[in-house]
């Protein structure tokens, strides 16, 4: 995701945080949203089709589509392969419940 996309998303999420229930939903879905943004950004910037990216990452096209829509339940191994193909490193961490999520 480039800087302008990050700023747009941050502005939107900051405005929506005042909506009832949005903050909880956003925090709950944040991992899926980050996966969707990474997969979508890869398709956009790498010039690959869904079929090409899914084959390179060793995942099915339907799973890639679900990932791009912040749905599905990819395994850790599938996420690692996708990260490798798109030139990223997958980072997973467990944080205390009361720690504010990073944006």
Q: Tell me: the pLDDT tens digits for 35-90?
A: 998 888 888 889 899 999 999 999 999 999 999 998 888 999 999 999 999 999 99
Higher pLDDT, 99 or 85: 85
Terminal-residue alpha carbon distance, the chain: 12
The pLDDT-based confidence of 20 (bands split at 50, 70, 90) is confident
pLDDT of residue 41: 87
**H or E stretch covering 21:** none
Higher pLDDT, 27 or 60: 60
pTM of the model: 0.71
pLDDT of residue 9: 74
Exposure string of 27-62, with b = 16+ CB inside 10 Å and e = fewer, is: eeeeebeebbbbbbbbbeeeebeeeebbebbebeee
pLDDT of residue 103: 53
Closest by CA position to 72, among listed 86, 88, 59: 59
8-state DSSP, 54: H
């Amino acid at each position: 995701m480039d800087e302008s996309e990050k700023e747009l998303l941050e502005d939107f999420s900051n405005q929506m945080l005042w909506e009832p229930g949005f903050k909880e939903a956003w925090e709950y879905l944040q991992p899926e949203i980050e996966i969707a943004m990474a997969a979508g950004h890869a398709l956009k910037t790498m010039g690959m089709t869904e079929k090409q990216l899914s084959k390179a990452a060793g995942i099915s096209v339907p799973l890639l589509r679900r990932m791009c829509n912040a749905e599905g339940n990819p395994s850790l191994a599938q996420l690692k392969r996708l990260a490798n193909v798109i030139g990223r490193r997958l980072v997973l961490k467990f944080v205390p419940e009361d720690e504010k999520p990073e944006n």
